[in-house]
Amino acid sequence: RFSAIEDIEKKLIAQCEETPGHRCRVAAFYGGTMYRLYDQLEIRDVRLVYAPPSSIGKYGGDIDNWMWPRHTGDFSFYRAYVGPDGQPADPSPENVPFSPEHWLRIGTDGVAEGDFVMVVGYPGRTNRYRLASEVEDAVSWTYPQRVERRLSSLEIIEREIDGRPDAAIAYAAMNSYINNSLKNAQGMIAGFAKSDSIARKRALETELAAWIAADSDRQARWGNALTDVETLLNEKRADRALDQELSSLKYNQLISASNTAYRLAREREKPDVERRLGFQERDMRRIRARIARSARSFDAQVDMALLQHNLESYAALPQSERLEALDSWFGIDGTEDVSEAIATTLHGMYIKTDLTDVKQRMALLSADRATLEASEDPFVQLAVAMYDTYLALEAADDALDGQLLEARPRFMEALLAFQAAQGVEIYPDANGTLRVTFGNVVGYEPKDAVVYLPFTTAEGMAAKATGSEPFDASEPLLDAVAAADYGPYGLDEIGSLPVNFLSTVDTTGGNSGSATLDDQGRFVGLLFDGNWESMISDWDFLPDVTRSIHVDVRYTLWVMDRIDSAWHLLREMGVEPAFEESE
């Protein structure tokens, strides 16, 4: 079933992408109950035009991340370029700005408390219709594991970059990502501790089972739907510890590049249509870009220390859960001092490899199977040695996922029918496709006697300033705030310049950077975060406290106009500068 679905997807995508410059994908909805084909114009030349200083764009840093009140100017502007013929093209000096048929107008007057807003974007993934047991797994196992692993990674990186400024710069973005993921996991645990989500899911499943049992036709169609999914989930849980360790190992850039290169070499021996999704010719540009991009966060010393830790974590698994080929390579099996065995092997690998040079990693992607199998690079040799083992694990996972692709849609069909019988229509989980969500600009009450207003102000931003990161607001910015020199960008009802605002729109990871529109479809802000209480929205939406955080368009325009004098860009966006003459 898994292979059949993938074959159909590849066929549909290939047909769709016969149109030059288009990128297509097949997306599953309602757990595989429905599939839709998406066809998009893919513009490959996108250039940064403007970004505020980091003292504005990252104001508050990890301290304020997921928090309210927030005062972050998290925005930037890009320009899309196409070939002279108007069609998508690779980056080139000859390219010209893209001229779409439609574009967003700027709503310079912004929004006020209570106003309608909608967000258009690409939320990554939600799990609103997972079983209660899956939520319990996330709370009791997945997120605690994630917290532990993220803390360990941060500690290792901090130790290895100490006194090494180049390494610190290289891992700045990685540190930011890990901190964000850590805070998210901590928020999930805290959020579920205050939520009755699991109890409500269990009650819903009990009601659903009773509704199915009450009708012979429903029983014949969906009688085993819930138990079948649970049985398969139990099978998946048996391997989750190993899956987690292998996933961590594959984050290592040298292992990842070697595995990818050897898999590509093996897949290239097949006709393109028979290759695994993700390893077809259509994927090569993105694979190259991923490896080139990841090289910006690389330092051999840090990389080796992280890999050492990951391998020690893997070695702590029971022998029955480990992989013979991996144990043999690193001398884990039958060795008393596992850490020493791993360290000795890794030290030799990093000394001998050429793959610490990103050019060498990129070159691997063009090598054929024979060349890679004859390679003397230890990371390539490891990829070759592990290939059959990884392929067998993948096949077992595919088979189990194929069974779930039959069982979960039956459960979802039953749930959809049950909800419809109650007069309730449920929306599909987020899956990376275009979604529109709508709500209103309102604050909330996080706890007894505490009320959060929906707007933060420039004065509130200035009050946080310490002169040091992440509250290092510049002197010109603070002077302008002290003078209340806001021009037409102020909001009368708050008596100040709005910086960020809250809304009830339903969003999740992937929505960062999504356009926020008013009731006339005008651009009034950018969504960039959620509040602490919204953490569990991947699993459950709590309308009383779940809020999205947006940077107000008036703050973006004011920064560009009053602080950075980016007047030509404002005019290009249809906004007349207010401060040009005074300068």
Count Cβ atoms below 10 Å from residue 253 Cβ, excluding itself. Answer: 21
| Peptide bond just before 69 cis, omega within 30 deg | yes
Question: Which residues of the chain fall below pLDDT 70?
Answer: 334-335, 582-583
| pLDDT at residue 582, as a whole number | 54
Those residues whose C-beta lies under 8 Å from the C-beta of residue 511, and which sit 6 or more positions away, are 119, 121, 122, 123, 124, 527, 548
- DSSP, residue by residue, 71-139: ------EEEEEE-TTSS---S-TT-EE---S--PPB-TT---TT-EEEEEE------TT--HHHHHHII
| pLDDT at residue 583, as a whole number | 47
Nearest to 486, CA basis, from 582, 382, 381: 582
| pLDDT at residue 438, as a whole number | 97
Taking the CA atoms of 180, 185, 189 and 192 in sequence, report the sign of the dihedral they define: positive
pLDDT tens digits for range 280-308: 999 999 999 999 999 999 999 999 999 99
> Using a CB cutoff of 8 Å and minimum separation of 24, what contacts does 342-348 make?
342/308, 342/311, 342/312, 342/315, 343/308, 346/304, 346/307, 346/308, 346/311, 347/304, 348/378
Q: What is the gyration radius of the CA atoms in the chain, in angstroms?
A: 26
What are the tokens at 405? 């692709």
- Give the C-alpha distances (Å, rounded to integers) separating 271 from 276, 277, 281: 10, 13, 10
Rounded-to-integer distance, Cα 526 and Cα 332, Å: 50
| pLDDT at residue 251, as a whole number | 87
Predicted structure pTM score: 0.93
pLDDT tens digits for range 30-66: 999 999 999 999 999 999 999 999 999 999 999 999 9
What are the tokens at 125? 């993934």
Continuous H helices in 540-581: 553-558, 567-572
| pLDDT at residue 250, as a whole number | 86
Angle of helix 300-315 relative to helix 338-352, nearest 10 degrees? 150
Those residues whose C-beta lies under 8 Å from the C-beta of residue 540, and which sit 6 or more positions away, are 128, 195, 197
pLDDT tens digits for range 360-406: 999 999 999 999 999 999 999 999 999 999 999 999 999 999 999 99
| pLDDT at residue 335, as a whole number | 67
What DSSP state is assigned to residue 562? I
β pairing state of 523-530 and 514-517: antiparallel
